Amino acid sequence: MSSVGTRIFAARLAGTAVFDPLGDQVGRVRDVVVLLRAKGAPRAVGLVVEVPGRRRVFLPLTRVTSIDAGQVISTGLVNMRRFEQRASETLALGELLDRRVELSDGSGEATVVDLAIEQQRTRDWLVTKLFVRRQVPGKSGLMRRRGETLTVDVGEVRTLAGGAAQGAELLLASYEDLKPADLADVLHDLGSVRQLEVARALNNERLADVLEELPEDDQVAILSGLDVDRAADVLDVMQPDDAADLIGELSDEKAAELLERMEPEEARDVRRLLAYQDDTAGGLMTTEPVVLGPEATIAAALAHVRRQDLTPALASMVFVVRPPLETPSGRFLGVVHIQRLLREAPHDALGGVLDNEIESLTADAPLSQITRLLATYNLLALPVLDEERRLLGAVSVDDVLDHLLPEDWREGDDEDTDRAMTAQREAGRG
């Protein structure tokens, strides 16, 4: 075990690899679970560890044989049941960073930047030090954001247990490199108040990407917690099909208010999608695939499919139509697959390399027909056409999977694993 008195700062543990005794990596640390107490130093009882499959599990510190800023070594016995935060528990990174506390020497307030845990002779891990930024009044009497930083004993602050949680900048900084799906997992595991604070601190584009990866309950809770104009701005930058799915979960009154505040073009696309049943091609499609005219060059098409906001499925083909190019478009001519784009000369026109025999869907096509066509022809997307063969949108395989998988698939739970590991679950965390 780490020597008694070893001081570990929680924020530096984020992302640290966790190994079993044989040296095989088990996962990575995502947070530290702390018990705040009315008297005495807070006690650290375990680590939240992300294991393969993006599952977050609880690793008691009693099962940790070595811990430092570079690696964590466990006994090898890890309960794979998904971590569920208990009411008495606090997440160090998720809830304590940025918390405002009062310094007991009377010098004012400070913000928690980091906290240190140390192992005691009793083998318990206690929070002993806080790295804080003192709040300094500006000339106007308001608190300036930046101030002196210092390390203080945990006993030198008041209101840690009941302090006001502030902005989420430090938490977001520790998760800056996470993909939207991984950051969505972080938000899902936070309490409702902290979850909304973190969501509000994200910019519109990042929040839109994260919302698309969250379970519906979390999506609705976050969107409902934003002011109307901010919520409309976020919906504007979401994929139209995802925005339509989310708005469809809201009350009619709330949905109408948000659609009124959205940009007219974005709202138009969402309203069009809301008119279709969820499990039809119209309800599943996006209205913003890559659409070009037949005279566009291979080089121009390659530039369009490089867009960062495109999913790999939608980047797999370019839909070629007569003007207008916005959906509903002019007459649909065919598609050009990305592999064909890579094989042809950059100056060639798309009209000369068309696949005009690709299967298409009508807006009322059921989910069974969509999946059958995608599987039969090994496609990642299919065009949706009206009776005049105008392109309405495209259905991609990722949207189909969202509807085929169980509603709670984003939770990451595996029922068989849960049943197998129930007998091994830690009897208590204290």
b (16+ CB within 10 A) / e for 332-344? bbbbbbbebbeeb
Round to whole Å and give the CA distance between 3 and 1.
Answer: 6
Round to whole Å and give the CA distance between 62 and 59.
Answer: 8
Average pLDDT estimate for 153-168: 73
The pLDDT tens digits for 177-195 are 788 988 898 888 777 778 8
Average pLDDT estimate for 411-419: 43
Question: DSSP code of 278?
Answer: T
- pLDDT at 141 exceeding the cut of 80: no
Closest CA to 13 of 36, 47, 37: 47
Round to whole Å and give the CA distance between 42 and 126.
Answer: 6
- pLDDT at 82 exceeding the cut of 90: no
Round to whole Å and give the CA distance between 225 and 290.
Answer: 33
Closest CA to 45 of 117, 131, 152, 99: 117
What percentage of the chain exceeds 70 in pLDDT? Answer: 88
Round to whole Å and give the CA distance between 262 and 265.
Answer: 8
Closest CA to 197 of 82, 65, 346, 91: 91
CB 336 within 8 A of CB 301: yes
pLDDT band at 427; cut points 50, 70, 90: very low
Residue with tokens 């609705």: 220
Q: Tell me the CB-side half-sphere exposure of residue 265, using CA atoms within 13 A.
A: 8
- pLDDT at 278 exceeding the cut of 80: yes
Q: Which of 38-47, 304-313, 375-384, 394-403 has the highest mean pLDDT?
A: 375-384
Round to whole Å and give the CA distance between 30 and 43.
Answer: 18
Average pLDDT estimate for 355-379: 96
Round to whole Å and give the CA distance between 214 and 210.
Answer: 7
- Please tell me which residue, 85 or 59, carries the higher pLDDT value: 59
Looking at residue 308, its pLDDT comes to 85
Average pLDDT estimate for 55-66: 91
Looking at residue 100, its pLDDT comes to 86
CB 102 within 8 A of CB 109: yes
pLDDT band at 3; cut points 50, 70, 90: low
Closest CA to 163 of 95, 76, 263: 95
Mean pLDDT of the chain: 87
CB 250 within 8 A of CB 220: yes
| Residue 120 three-state SS | coil
Round to whole Å and give the CA distance between 144 and 134.
Answer: 10
- pLDDT at 167 exceeding the cut of 90: no
Average pLDDT estimate for 351-374: 96
Average pLDDT estimate for 101-116: 89
Token code pair at residue 414: 């595996």
Question: From residue 227, how far is each of 129, 234, 318, 397 by CA, in Å?
Answer: 37, 11, 37, 33
Closest CA to 116 of 143, 96, 101: 96
Round to whole Å and give the CA distance between 280 and 199.
Answer: 31
What percentage of the chain exceeds 90 in pLDDT? Answer: 59
Average pLDDT estimate for 212-220: 90
| Residue 108 three-state SS | strand
Average pLDDT estimate for 112-117: 93
- pLDDT at 416 exceeding the cut of 50: no
Give 391: exposed, middle or buried? Use CB within 10 Å, 0-12, 13-18, 19+. Answer: buried
pLDDT band at 152; cut points 50, 70, 90: very high
| Residue 28 three-state SS | strand
- pLDDT at 105 exceeding the cut of 70: yes
Residue with tokens 């649909």: 332
Round to whole Å and give the CA distance between 101 and 417.
Answer: 41
Omega before 383 cis (within 30°)?
A: no
Low-confidence winner among 12-16, 126-130, 236-240, 251-255 (lowest mean pLDDT): 12-16
Contacts of 386 (CB under 8 A, 6+ apart): 328, 362, 363, 392
- Please tell me which residue, 191 or 327, carries the higher pLDDT value: 327
Closest CA to 383 of 403, 363, 354, 402: 363
Average pLDDT estimate for 196-221: 92
**Amino acid at site 306:** R
Max distance between CA atoms of the chain, in angstroms, equals 79
